[in-house]
Amino acid sequence: MKKRILFLLLISLTITALAGAEIKFTLLPESPRRGEPVTIALDTYATEAFLFVGGNQAAKGAIYHIEDAAGVPCYFVAILTIPSTVAAGRAVIRINNERGQILEIPFTIAARTFRQETIELTPALTTLVTTRNERTIAEANRLWQILITTGNQVYHYGPFVAPIATTRRTSQFGTRRVNQYSDGRNVTSIHMGIDYGAPTGTEVYACGTGKVILARERVITGNSVVIEHAPGLYSLYYHLDTMTAKENAIVQAGEIIGTVGSTGFSTGPHLHWEIRLNTENTDPDAFIARPLIDKKQIISRLFNIVEIDLPEAEGGD
- Reported pTM: 0.87
Q: Are residues 34 and 91 in the same domain?
A: yes
Q: 243-252 as b/e, with b when 16 or more CB fall inside 10 Å?
A: bbbeeeeebe
Do 122 and 27 sit in the same domain of this protein?
Answer: no
- Over residues 220-252, the pLDDT tens digits come to 999 999 999 999 999 999 999 999 999 999 999
Q: How many domains does the chain have?
A: 2
The helix (run of H) or strand (run of E) holding residue 97 is strand 89-97
* Cα distance between residue 179 and residue 187, in whole Å: 5
SS3 100: strand
Q: What is the extent of the structural domain holding 276? A: 116-288
Answer whether residue 218 is part of any domain.
yes
Same domain, 13 and 97: yes
- 38 and 140 assigned to the same domain: no
Verify that 138 and 229 share a domain, yes or no: yes
Instruction: Kindly state whether residues 67 and 139 are assigned to the same domain.
Output: no
Verify that 135 and 231 share a domain, yes or no.
yes
The amino acid at 187: V
What distance in Å separates the CA atoms of residue 166 and residue 197, rounded to the nearest whole number? 8
- For residue 315, being part of any structural domain is answered with no
Span 126-155, pLDDT tens digits: 888 888 899 999 999 999 999 999 888 899
